[in-house]
Structure 1
Amino acid sequence: MDQQSRTGDRFRIRIVRRWYHGCWVLMGLCPPVIAVHDRMDATKYTTWALVAALAFTYLALRLFPGNPVVRPGRFLGVLVLVLGGTAILLDGGAAFFIVSLPMFWIYAATQRQAIGFIAAAATATLIGNFTGSPFSPGNVVFTLIGLAGGILLGLWMDRVLEHGEQRARVLGAELERTQSELAVAHQRQGAAEERERLAREIHDTLAQGFASIVVLAEAARAGLETDPEASAGQLVSIERTARENLAEARILVGAPAAGDSRPGGLAPALRRILDRFVEDTGLTVDAELLDIDCDQRTTIALVRCTQESLANVRKHAGAATVGVVLAGGPAGVELEITDDGAGFSPVAARGFGLNGMRARLAELGGALTVTSSPGEGTRIFAVLPTRVRT
């Protein structure tokens, strides 16, 4: 049972007690006062004094519940005396006794104490019946019925409440255990998602950069003796690739590259990537790049998609021409990359790169569409729903 349910239960119990207290005042305290209203003897003023003493004790208990002077046990003791006194003065008192029975269960500290006070109140009421005149057998019978019914009903209610509290404790423990297990599951899920994100970042940045550097380094080493000039150019490409990767890493963590006080836009970043791709591969690239101003996360996502797509073209496509189009469409920023290479079956593709691109775009509310078939080239279409300024 959660905190809200327990609060609701306590609120309902308070409402029920307030209703009972109101009924006790109307049906317990008021009838003796009204019964002696027309009498002119000492009975009238004695009854009023007893009821006033009981009402004063009750108000003190309600208004100062934490006061050690006003204790529930003292109030119940006064109630027993008043029940006995009114039974003598009013030739009965069974009704007052029966109406007051819940008071003993509400304010007694234990079951034994409640039963003891009820027995004392019943005894005082019976003594009042036998002492007062005339004797009323009906009051005796109702007093005994009230005694038995009050004890049995109180014990049953205590049993019900105790069972409810036990069930609440069990449910509370189960809830805490479930919340703990859920927190552990969320923690594991968060760790798995973070590992996946790191793997995707490493694949799209460090792995691609290192792969390019390795290819250039192998080519430069092979041409050191036969074509030193080409090897020198390849070394320059290695240096430039490393510097650009460093700049991209700084953009990724939100820090500008050294000597640059503002982050670069999406179109310039794509032009640098395409220029390097042409220089490294010698392929023909047709690019239409609209100068779009978009946020950093969108820029990084589309840059990574471009890098991954070009890496796949280099490794698998065997293409001669690559087309790249960056535009702002009705759905947001649109990036299209096509090649005239060997193509493949997207359904059978199991590479990490395509899945990584899809996950990256999905995190930003975007989508990736791959259209390809063997011998027909490949089309990569990425869209991100972001507002752009052209």
Structure 2
Amino acid sequence: MLQRPRRGDPVWIWVLHGWEVFSWGLIALVTLITMAGGTPTDRKLGILALTAVLALCYGLVRTRPAGQPAAGYGYLCVLVVVLGLLSYLGDGFGVFYTVTLTQFIVFADSPRGAVLFTGLGALAITLGGSLREGGQPDVFLTNTISSLGVWAVAVVMALLTPRALAQRDERAALRAELKSTQLELAEVYQRQGAAEERERLAREIHDTLAQGFASIIVLAEAARSQLAVDVDRSAQQLQSIEQTARENLAEARVLVGAAPRSGVAPGSVAVTLRRTLDRFTEDTGLDVTADLADIDCDRPTRIALLRCTQESLANVRKHAAATTVGVVLAHGPDTVELEITDDGRGFVVEDSHGFGLDGMRKRLAEFGGGLTVTSSLGDGTRILATIPLAPDGQE
């Protein structure tokens, strides 16, 4: 049984159902006209009773759950009988066959069933009309030709409807596939966004909190070992521990959103790096030489250069066993370049898979920059970070 149309159905399906609704209006109108006309009373009562039976059966089958073709075919059997009897009782009631053509298609579950029952309907009105007029051969022939013409139209409609339904189902499948694809893409983007955010937070934690805690541990160990030997030095180290802890607390507030910005002050990146290098010299006692050009960068670039510097100095402190460190900040043609060198033990770059260097590469890549690491065992290490500069270094 063809269900009522839904959004996205082809126009042909809407036309079928519109015609089905319209047919009942015409049946009611013709019945009322007949009741008010000069048809004999017994015939009027017969016509009224048949119309009522047909309407009742229609209502019953329409209220049944979908997927019950037997109910639809049962109604079509009633429709064929009622059409034949109406054609027999009243002149002109054969038009009901034309009016109800769509019902044969709507209530049949296959083109073959629709063609068969429309043919039975044509036969019923032909026999009913011919018997009403006395069964004369010429009348029977005329009725037959007329019925065959209408039946031919019904056959065309029955054949077109499955194509329209196939088109509807194809569009529905495409819409479902598109919706499924959109949901999958949304989930992929959501997972990708979550992964990128986790990676960003991990990098920020490594470059800020983790480095700060590492400094605190080193300073605390040094202060404890020198507490009985050099009280002034231990006091200085304790002061550095306090300052580092305060900076970590500020960075933690930034990471959790309790503070609006990082603690990197606006202005020249050289000023920002100088403070970091002074703290490093104070905490480690290493000899640091710095040649820092006065370059104005936007805030994200200053933060990236600062994080690269902090990570490089942390690696020097933990791994290099160096005695001197050199830092050069220079202005290239369209880039800012940060070079950090040490005279430590060096390492094999290809064997290094640490989170710090990888984090620096990814951070610089976000700005279209790059990281070059040059090192070998016993020959120290050179870190070169480059970032393209925005015009005029604007914020």
Q: Out of 364, 375, 381, which is 1:378 matched to?
A: 381
In the alignment, structure 1 residue 216 sits paired with structure 2 residue 219: yes
Match of 2:148 in 1: 144
CA apart distance, 1:277: 1.0
Contact 1:219/1:231 (<8 A) preserved: yes
Q: Distance in 1 between matches of 2:248 and 2:276?
A: 10
In the alignment, structure 1 residue 368 sits paired with structure 2 residue 390: no
Q: Distance in 2 between matches of 1:238 and 1:365?
A: 35
Q: Which residue identity lines up with residue 144 of structure 1 in the other structure?
A: L
Q: Distance in 2 between matches of 1:158 and 1:257?
A: 68
SS in 2 for 1:158: helix
CA apart distance, 1:212: 0.6
Deviations along 1:10-66, whole A, 9 cap, x unmatched?
A: 7xx66x99xx9xxxxxxxxxxxxxxxxxxxxxxxxxxxxxxxxxxxxxxxx99xxxx
Contact 2:267/2:297 (<8 A) preserved: no
Q: Distance in 2 between matches of 1:372 and 1:277?
A: 22
Match of 2:210 in 1: 207
In the alignment, structure 1 residue 269 sits paired with structure 2 residue 272: yes
Q: Distance in 1 between matches of 2:118 and 2:157?
A: 13
Match of 2:354 in 1: 351
Q: Out of 279, 286, 292, which is 1:289 matched to?
A: 292
SS in 2 for 1:358: helix
In the alignment, structure 1 residue 236 sits paired with structure 2 residue 225: no
The total of aligned residue pairs comes to 313
Q: Distance in 2 between matches of 1:327 and 1:125?
A: 102
Q: How does 1:51-200 map to 2 (within 5 A)?
A: 71=22, 73-74=24-25, 144=148, 147=151, 149-200=152-203
Q: Which residue identity lines up with residue 203 of structure 1 in the other structure?
A: H
SS in 2 for 1:192: helix
Between 351-360 and 163-172, report the one with greater CA deviation. 163-172
SS in 2 for 1:292: coil
Q: Distance in 1 between matches of 2:320 and 2:251?
A: 26
In the alignment, structure 1 residue 340 sits paired with structure 2 residue 365: no
Between 242-251 and 224-233, report the one with greater CA deviation. 242-251
Q: Which residue identity lines up with residue 154 of structure 1 in the other structure?
A: M
CA apart distance, 1:235: 1.3
Identity over aligned pairs, percent = 53
Q: Which residue identity lines up with residue 161 of structure 2 in the other structure?
A: D
SS in 1 for 2:368: coil
Distance 1:215 1:324, change over 3 A: same
Q: Distance in 2 between matches of 1:165 and 1:359?
A: 49
Deviations along 1:250-287, whole A, 9 cap, x unmatched?
A: 677664689x9x64642222111101111122222221
Contact 1:338/1:380 (<8 A) preserved: yes
CA apart distance, 1:216: 0.8
Q: Which residue identity lines up with residue 194 of structure 2 in the other structure?
A: A
CA apart distance, 1:176: 3.7
Distance 1:150 1:356, change over 3 A: same
Q: Distance in 2 between matches of 1:368 and 1:201?
A: 18
Match of 1:317 in 2: 320
Gaps of 5+ in 2: 1-5, 30-94
Q: Which residue identity lines up with residue 223 of structure 1 in the other structure?
A: Q
**What do you get for the CA RMSD once the two structures are aligned?**
4.7
CA apart distance, 1:304: 0.9
SS in 1 for 2:273: helix
Contact 2:339/2:385 (<8 A) preserved: yes
Contact 1:332/1:388 (<8 A) preserved: no
Contact 2:118/2:154 (<8 A) preserved: no
Match of 2:42 in 1: none
Structure 1-normalised TM-score?
0.62
Q: Distance in 1 between matches of 2:203 and 2:154?
A: 72
CA apart distance, 1:322: 1.8
CA apart distance, 1:372: 2.1
CA apart distance, 1:370: 1.7
Match of 1:82 in 2: none
Match of 1:307 in 2: 310
Distance 1:75 1:301, change over 3 A: farther
Contact 2:26/2:99 (<8 A) preserved: no
Q: Distance in 1 between matches of 2:197 and 2:261?
A: 24
Contact 1:334/1:381 (<8 A) preserved: yes
CA apart distance, 1:210: 0.8
Distance 1:374 1:248, change over 3 A: same
Distance 1:291 1:347, change over 3 A: same
Between 149-158 and 313-322, report the one with greater CA deviation. 149-158
CA apart distance, 1:153: 2.7
Q: Distance in 2 between matches of 1:279 and 1:173?
A: 66
